[in-house]
Amino acid sequence: MDTIVALGTPAGRSAIGVIRLSGPDSLSIARSIVGENYFKPEPSQPVLRSIKGTASNSILDRALLTFFPGPNSYTGEDLVEISCHGSPIVLRQVIDLTLGLGARPAGPGEFTLRALSNGKMNLTQAEAIRDLINAQTEAAAQQALRQMMGELSSRLRRPQQALIHTIVQLESALEFVEDDLPELKRQDIVGELTEVASDLHNLASTFEVGHLLRDGVRVTIVGRPNVGKSSLFNKLLAFERAIVTEVPGTTRDTLTERLGLDGIPILLTDTAGLRESSDRIESIGVERTRQAMAEADLLVVVLDGSEDLRAEDLSALSQAKSARHIVAINKSDVASFDTLEKSRPSYEAGSVNVSAVTGFGLETLRAAILEPFVAGDSPNAGFLITDARHYDLLLRARNEVQSSWELLQRGASEELVLIGLHNGLRFLGQITGETSTDEILSEIFATFCIGK
């Protein structure tokens, strides 16, 4: 039995998010993420720990961990509950961490299934839960999801067909040695597998963006004081949420609001202006800005286009540099904006001229915010993997194909090369439905004239 992981609370922003790990490796995974080799809390007693990120010394969250040893747990197996703060980004990072340590995303209803197979429930309870799962299945049958599944299946068709094609070539070569088959062209198959692996990789990599679209994209507005961050924040929200004054440093705390841009959920955060300050309250605000910047999926660096750049602007730009960001040059309504236009440097990340007063350039800004998430030129334009299980299966399939590719290159015998191809096909089959041996045999007999 392997160890599964899933978010136990509804997806999206909430005060607390509970991640559940179930299976034999639960405790050892928990040990790794808190960085304590002998971590073993008293059963059912929550303990507070820091969750360590993959980067050295980074801390993802302070969380409560509760260990429920099997068989006295919900699933009947060793189970660890991790109560994090409810940010979808943090929750995803913690789940990713467990995946990296060998956990697998749970299938629908899989925790309940384990509870059932371990005899942890009576019939009435079980049926209640089954109804719940059925209800979810019904919900899942809704138009949108069906379309998404259909779309995924159709995008998987090409790699799947290519996989079947290579399997047919290799299987025929070893099953029908006495038949007059065309010589196996290993280099052609290598080429074909390269494409399969890259198709699968491209699809899987849409998940990075895909999950953002489901949980909300964190867009954080940053810049030195008094460049008009809060005005822009209000303008994007289309109501006066943040207090705006002429006084630099008015915004002392981060402020987050939810909005939809073209149907994509955005968590927009206004921050305190970045500068060194002796004011204690303002310093705390700046610290929070840094925190918000670290969590953001996209930074909007605001500059004041009516003035020359200051050292604080350059500092803000350099702090944003390593993250995904765009530059908004504000105050296009002020006369000096145009005269400074020519002397402005160009920004690698692209810049947008706006006016938080007149609303000039706001449409362009909105488009620029969405642009990284709805890339139009990739082969998977507009299509994104949002389900962690699909992501996991695509990656596993890709790895299997990759290993076959390597064996083929090394001149290994067909039966070894075929292992990864069949496994890969099986993983994809868990998304689209299995390909049976008979279907592959049919393909062989349709392709080659077999038989004495």
Partner 1 sequence: MSFDEVFDVIVIGGGHAGCEAASAASRLGSQTALVTMNLDLIGQMSCNPAIGGIAKGHLVREIDALGGVMGRVADRAGIQFRLLNRSRGRAVQSPRAQADRSMYRKEMRKTLEGTPNLHLRQGMVMELVLRQGRMAGIRLQDGRKFGAPAVVISTGTFLNGVVHTGRQTYKAGRAGEPSSIELAEALKRLGFPVGRLKTGTPPRLDGRTIEWSAFEPQPPDEVPVPFSFATDEIAQAQLNCYVGYTSPGVHAAIRQNLHLSPLYSGQIRGIGPRYCPSIEDKVVKFADKDRHQLFLEPEGHDTNEVYLNGFSTSLPAELQQELIRLIPGLEVARIIRPGYAIEYDFVDPRELGPDLQTNRVVGLFHAGQINGTTGYEEAACQGLIAGINAALAVQGRPRFRVRREESYIGVLIDDLINQGVDEPYRVFTSRAENRLSLRYDNADERLESYGRNLGLVGDFDWERFTQRRDRLARLGKILEGTRLKRSDAAYAAISAKLGVDLGDSVTLAQLGKRSGVGVDIIRSILPAEKLPGITDSEIESGLADSLYAGYIEAQRLNVQRVHQHDSLQIRPDFIFRGLSGLSHEMVERFERARPLTFGQARRIPGLTPAALSTLLIHLSVCDHPA
Question: Which residues form the interface with partner 1 (CB under 8 A)?
Answer: 1-2, 104, 107-109, 112-113, 116-117, 119, 121-123, 126-127, 130, 133-134, 137-138, 171, 174-180, 410-416, 418-419, 423, 426, 429-434, 436-442, 445, 449-452
CB neighbours of residue 332 within 10 Å: 19
Query: Minimum CB separation from partner 1 for residue 2, in Å?
Result: 5
Query: Minimum CB separation from partner 1 for residue 116, in Å?
Result: 4
Query: Minimum CB separation from partner 1 for residue 43, in Å?
Result: 24
User: How many contiguous H segments (helices) and E segments (strands) does the chain have?
Assistant: 15, 12
Task: State which residue, 171 or 313, has the beta carbon closest to partner 1.
Answer: 171
Q: Helical H runs in 176-269?
A: 186-205, 207-215, 229-237
The per-residue DSSP string of 132-170 comes to HHHHHHHHHTSHHHHHHHHHHHHHHHHHHHHHHHHHHHH
What whole-number distance in Å separates Cα of residue 351 and Cα of residue 365? 9
DSSP 41: P
What whole-number distance in Å separates Cα of residue 238 and Cα of residue 257? 11
**Non-local CB neighbours of 43 within 8 Å, separated by 6+ positions:** 67, 68, 69, 72
Task: State which residue, 341 or 434, has the beta carbon closest to partner 1.
Answer: 434
Query: Minimum CB separation from partner 1 for residue 137, in Å?
Result: 5
Task: State which residue, 198 or 430, has the beta carbon closest to partner 1.
Answer: 430
Task: State which residue, 228 or 420, has the beta carbon closest to partner 1.
Answer: 420
Task: State which residue, 135 or 367, has the beta carbon closest to partner 1.
Answer: 135
What whole-number distance in Å separates Cα of residue 31 and Cα of residue 210? 30
Query: Minimum CB separation from partner 1 for residue 357, in Å?
Result: 54
Query: Minimum CB separation from partner 1 for residue 430, in Å?
Result: 6
Task: Tell me which amino acid residue 152 is.
Answer: L
Task: State which residue, 110 or 257, has the beta carbon closest to partner 1.
Answer: 110
